[in-house]
């Protein structure tokens, strides 16, 4: 068989979303790849310019559909900086808790999809089963399981329900031994190690060159984690380690994510302890009326607002489950953001595909792309 | 006690049926009592019984796998159609049957339709030579095991034909993987069978089972059993060796372009082959329909006890395959071929040597002396 191009996508089991990986193959060997994104572009950044600050949150849940909370957090931080608002202390901790729960849910989802790509069927359902418990928690305090619309400019929508902390602890107690089980199913399997070791190698220097961040970068030995390097929210007040690995391959990325889940549980326990003892308001009380109000101001009120409200620029970066995400919100006065721009970590990780795919087999594409943890929603936005 | 064979049953049914017809329609009695016609009808009935038995067993096998996989995955499997989902597969089959069969425009007609049909037919053909109980096909075929393996090895040809004629790159890659894999694993399977033949001294599956009345072959021929089982796993294209239809990278491998009833053909034939593989393992290594002597005689004297025990063993063997499927990831093409050529073939050669040594010694302290060894 001479060399040929095959399209893996836009609808292909490997893609986990809607994108196209054009692969140039010779027999089973990969000669070159050409990732094509844009099939899921919804113009979220442009739509945001026509929405109130709080209405953009709805779009954030849909930006990355497995890490909605993280993207809400990202946007809210930038929006608050742009508007010059400060959330109450308790709201910050609740946000941090939400983000860590989201990281757990996202990593479990990644685990489930990744092992499914390798042909391991049972852990897929174990992962979905355990992720459901976290979604139940989300449902108990936000009402949503996937699209929460929970955070608000100046805090969060509502406080945690009665008994939430104990339920959350129970979930963590259940999850911790499950992580050991996950590990045993994968690292204990010889076939798994043979499939994943020395596969899809991307060294730290190449990661930096191509803007690859997150678990992929940390699996190459780098200790870069925004939660540690430039602590946002209340990450400076909790105790956790940055998960790293040295091998820079698929196994390394697997190990990093597994360790991150354990660290997330550690952070969550501390956060829940804090929340136990610090009741308080969760939404800033001196919000401009139009930020709290469900309707748009009209007429003279809107005019005054536009003239009087302080202008500003908000920039925030968080360690999203997939990597480093960044939001940029420009407030030119008025009820809508003037410009909203996001940096998607997966977009950069995916764009470097030719760096870590060429030279391997066609059968290696699913595990390698699985280890990247693609979320097309945030790639195309 | 004379054993009632399946042919006797078919002949009895056929002559009875024609006799009743001749009684109702006296003018046609000269035709209906013609021994050739009776023979023809009993041959058809024989085939129909085999077809029905193998099909029903296959569908039950799928149900068994779905339920067992469900339990492995912390869920319950099919639940809604019939008791505990027993009829779910019939419903699925009906759905596939009602679907429109379509063919890609550039696909080759003969290969596209002929491939699955031939694959299905050869898979079904195998059940004609596999004895399920002492009376199934008694002494009819002195080389029945060889014939079964020959029919078993037709598959890569037809898979490759249907994959190639689909005119799809994924299908082609899946077909090539399938052909490479099946041919690679054919060799160790045959060598493992040689070990069995050396010890049993016959190619007749009936005789091989009878040889195992005193001791089953899995003990002395454990290495051969291991090689044979792994090879069968690859021949059945089940996880961890399901690369030809690795859905993560090849969509659905060689049956990507097939839908509706043609797809159902492939699925059914796959499970027919899985059933045949499990049956072969039971026949060659696990004593077929016989039971160890310490089992109370009442267990073996029940009506149809042979068939029942045989099916229990078959389903247990298949259960092990399901277990493997639930627990292991898929290997890569080059790893698969390396396992086949570099590990299994030497192992199977060792198994043959061990079997030859067993025949020379004629006696194995652990398993007791073998009465008929060495002819």
Confidence of residue B374 (pLDDT cuts 50, 70, 90): very low
Closest CA to A245 of A237, A255, A233: A255
The pLDDT value recorded for residue B304 is: 74
B332–A121: do the CB atoms touch at under 8 Å?
Answer: no
Residue of A nearest to B324 (CA): A120
> What's the residue count for chain A?
381
Beta-bridge mates of residue A329: A314, A340
Residue B78 lies in a domain: no
Chain A residues touching B326 at Cβ < 8 A: 121-122
- The H or E element containing residue A138 is helix A122-142
Least Cα separation, residue B338 to chain A (angstroms) = 13
Range of A84-93, A96-105, A325-334, B283-292 with top mean pLDDT: A96-105
Closest CA to B280 of B328, B208, B358: B208
Question: How far is Cα B291 from Cα B289, in angstroms, rounded to an integer?
Answer: 7
The answer on pLDDT for A229 being more than 80 is yes
CA distances, A111 to each of A82, A244, B226 (Å): 36, 17, 32
Q: How many CB pairs under 8 A join A and B?
A: 83
The answer on pLDDT for B248 being more than 80 is no
Cα A129–chain centre separation: 20
Confidence of residue B139 (pLDDT cuts 50, 70, 90): low
Residue B359 lies in a domain: yes
Higher-confidence residue: A132 or B303?
A132
B73–A126: do the CB atoms touch at under 8 Å?
Answer: yes
The pLDDT value recorded for residue B171 is: 84
pLDDT (tens digit per residue) in B316-341: 999 999 998 888 888 888 888 888 88
pLDDT (tens digit per residue) in A58-72: 888 888 888 889 999
Inter-residue contact A245 to A48 (CB < 8 Å):
no
Domain range for residue B134? 99-369
The pLDDT value recorded for residue A172 is: 92
The pLDDT value recorded for residue B198 is: 84
Q: Which of A4, A117, A122 sits opposite B248 (nearest CB)?
A: A117
Domain range for residue A286? 42-380
Chain A residues touching B251 at Cβ < 8 A: 12-13
**Mean pLDDT, range B18-38, rounded to an integer:** 81
- Say how many C-beta atoms besides its own lie within 10 A of residue B45's C-beta: 19
Q: Is A120 on the interface with B (CB under 8 A)?
A: yes
A361–B332: do the CB atoms touch at under 8 Å?
Answer: yes
Chain A residues touching B335 at Cβ < 8 A: 194-195
The answer on pLDDT for A167 being more than 50 is yes
**Mean pLDDT, range A161-187, rounded to an integer:** 90
Q: How many domains does chain B have?
A: 1
Interface confidence: ipTM more than 0.90: no
Residue B72 lies in a domain: no
A361–B333: do the CB atoms touch at under 8 Å?
Answer: yes
Least Cα separation, residue B177 to chain A (angstroms) = 10
B249–A119: do the CB atoms touch at under 8 Å?
Answer: no
Q: Kindly state the percentage of chain B with pLDDT values over 70.
A: 91
Q: Which of B169, B173, B329 sits opposite A192 (nearest CB)?
A: B329
Inter-residue contact A330 to A313 (CB < 8 Å):
yes
Residue B15 lies in a domain: no
**Mean pLDDT, range A320-326, rounded to an integer:** 90
**Mean pLDDT, range A221-232, rounded to an integer:** 88
Q: Which of B73, B326, B330 sits opposite A118 (nearest CB)?
A: B330
Residue A140 lies in a domain: yes
Mean residue pLDDT of chain A comes to: 86
DSSP per-residue letters across A313-330: EEEEEEEETTEEEEEEEE
The answer on pLDDT for B133 being more than 80 is no
Q: Edge to edge, what strands does the sheet with A339-343 contain?
A: A312-320, A323-331, A339-343
Inter-residue contact A252 to A219 (CB < 8 Å):
yes
The answer on pLDDT for A367 being more than 60 is yes
Residues 308-347 of A with CB under 8 A from B: none
A118–B72: do the CB atoms touch at under 8 Å?
Answer: no
**Mean pLDDT, range B37-66, rounded to an integer:** 87
Q: Is A119 on the interface with B (CB under 8 A)?
A: yes
Residue B302 lies in a domain: yes
Residue A132 lies in a domain: yes
Residue B188 lies in a domain: yes
Select the residue from A14, A33, A119, A193 to test the B interface by mutation, using most B Cβ atoms within 10 A: A119
B169–A13: do the CB atoms touch at under 8 Å?
Answer: no
B240–A6: do the CB atoms touch at under 8 Å?
Answer: no
The answer on pLDDT for B310 being more than 60 is yes
The pLDDT value recorded for residue B369 is: 52
A125–B243: do the CB atoms touch at under 8 Å?
Answer: no
B327–A4: do the CB atoms touch at under 8 Å?
Answer: no
Chain B residues touching A119 at Cβ < 8 A: 239-240, 242, 246, 248, 328-330
Q: Give the SS3 label for residue B304.
A: coil
CATH of the domain at A256: 1.10.645.10
The pLDDT value recorded for residue A307 is: 65
pLDDT (tens digit per residue) in B187-224: 899 899 988 888 887 888 887 887 777 777 777 788 88
The pLDDT value recorded for residue B135 is: 67
The answer on pLDDT for A299 being more than 90 is no
B329–A12: do the CB atoms touch at under 8 Å?
Answer: no
**Mean pLDDT, range B74-86, rounded to an integer:** 85
Q: How many domains does chain A have?
A: 1
Chain B residues touching A195 at Cβ < 8 A: 329-332, 335
Confidence of residue B152 (pLDDT cuts 50, 70, 90): confident
Q: Is A158 on the interface with B (CB under 8 A)?
A: no
The pLDDT value recorded for residue B365 is: 46
């Amino acid at each position: 068989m001479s060399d040929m191009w095959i399209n893996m996508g836009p609808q292909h089991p490997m893609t986990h979303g809607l994108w196209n990986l054009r692969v140039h193959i010779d027999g089973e060997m990969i000669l070159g790849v050409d990732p094509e994104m844009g099939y899921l572009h919804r113009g979220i950044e442009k739509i945001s310019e026509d929405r109130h600050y709080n209405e953009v949150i709805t779009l954030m849940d849909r930006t990355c559909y497995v890490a909605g909370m993280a993207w809400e957090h990202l946007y809210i931080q930038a929006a608050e900086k742009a508007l010059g608002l400060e959330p109450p202390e308790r709201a910050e901790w609740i946000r941090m808790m939400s983000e860590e729960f989201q990281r757990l849910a996202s990593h479990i989802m990644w685990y489930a999809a990744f092992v499914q790509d390798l042909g391991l069927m049972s852990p897929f359902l174990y992962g979905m089963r355990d992720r459901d418990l976290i979604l139940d928690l989300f449902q108990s305090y936000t009402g949503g399981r996937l699209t929460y619309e929970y955070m608000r400019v100046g805090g969060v929508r509502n406080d945690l329900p009665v008994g939430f902390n104990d339920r959350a602890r129970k979930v963590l107690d259940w999850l911790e031994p499950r992580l050991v089980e996950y590990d045993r199913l994968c690292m204990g399997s010889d076939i798994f190690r043979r499939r994943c070791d020395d596969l899809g190698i991307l060294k730290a220097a190449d990661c930096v060159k191509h803007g690859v961040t997150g678990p992929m970068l940390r699996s190459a030995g780098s200790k870069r984690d925004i939660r540690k390097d430039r602590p946002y929210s209340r990450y400076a007040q909790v105790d956790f380690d940055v998960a790293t690995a040295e091998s820079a391959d698929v196994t390394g990325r697997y190990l990093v994510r597994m360790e991150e889940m354990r660290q997330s549980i550690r952070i969550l326990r501390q956060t829940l302890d804090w929340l136990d003892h610090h009741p308080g308001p969760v939404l800033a009380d001196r919000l401009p009326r139009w930020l709290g109000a469900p309707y748009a101001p009209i007429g003279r009120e809107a005019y005054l607002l536009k003239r009087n409200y302080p202008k500003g620029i908000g920039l925030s970066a968080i360690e999203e489950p997939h990597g480093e995400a960044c939001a940029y919100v420009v407030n030119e006065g008025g009820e809508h953001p003037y410009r909203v721009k996001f940096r998607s970590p997966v977009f950069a990780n995916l764009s470097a595909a030719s760096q870590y795919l060429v030279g391997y087999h066609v059968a290696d594409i699913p595990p390698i792309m699985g280890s990247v943890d693609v979320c097309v929603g945030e790639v195309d936005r | 006690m004379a054993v009632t064979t399946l042919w006797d049953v078919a002949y009895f049914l056929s002559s009875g049926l024609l006799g009743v017809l001749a009684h109702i329609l006296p003018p046609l009695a000269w035709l209906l009592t013609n021994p050739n016609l009776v023979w023809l009808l009993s041959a058809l009935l024989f085939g129909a019984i085999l077809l029905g038995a193998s099909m029903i067993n296959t569908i039950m096998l799928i149900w068994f796998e779905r339920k067992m996989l469900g339990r492995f995955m912390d869920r319950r499997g099919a639940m809604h159609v019939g008791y505990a989902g027993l009829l779910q597969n019939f419903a699925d089959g009906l759905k596939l049957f009602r679907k429109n069969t379509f063919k890609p425009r550039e696909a080759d007609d003969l290969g596209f339709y002929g491939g699955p049909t031939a694959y299905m037919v050869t898979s079904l053909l195998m059940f004609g030579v596999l004895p399920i109980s002492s009376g199934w096909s008694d002494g009819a075929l002195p080389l029945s095991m060889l014939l079964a393996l020959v029919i078993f090895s037709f598959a890569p040809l037809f898979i490759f034909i249907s994959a190639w004629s689909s005119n799809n790159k994924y299908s082609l890659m899946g077909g090539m993987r399938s052909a490479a894999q099946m041919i690679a694993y054919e060799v160790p399977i045959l060598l493992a069978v040689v070990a069995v033949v050396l010890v049993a001294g016959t190619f007749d599956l009936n005789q091989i089972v009878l040889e195992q009345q005193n001791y089953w072959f899995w003990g002395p021929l454990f290495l051969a059993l291991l090689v044979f089982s792994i090879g069968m796993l690859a021949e059945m294209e089940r996880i961890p060796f399901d690369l030809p239809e690795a859905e993560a990278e090849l969509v659905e491998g060689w049956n990507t372009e097939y839908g509706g009833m043609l797809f159902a053909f492939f699925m059914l034939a796959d499970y027919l082959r899985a059933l045949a593989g499990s049956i072969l393992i039971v026949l060659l290594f696990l004593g077929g329909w016989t039971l160890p002597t310490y089992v109370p005689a009442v267990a073996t004297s029940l009506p149809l006890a042979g068939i029942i025990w045989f099916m229990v063993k078959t389903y247990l063997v298949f259960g092990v395959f399901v277990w493997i499927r639930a627990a292991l990831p898929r290997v890569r093409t080059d790893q698969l071929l390396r396992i086949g050529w570099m590990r299994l073939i030497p192992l199977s050669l060792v198994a043959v040597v061990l079997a030859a040594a067993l025949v020379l010694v004629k006696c194995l302290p652990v398993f007791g002396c073998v009465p008929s060894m060495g002819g």
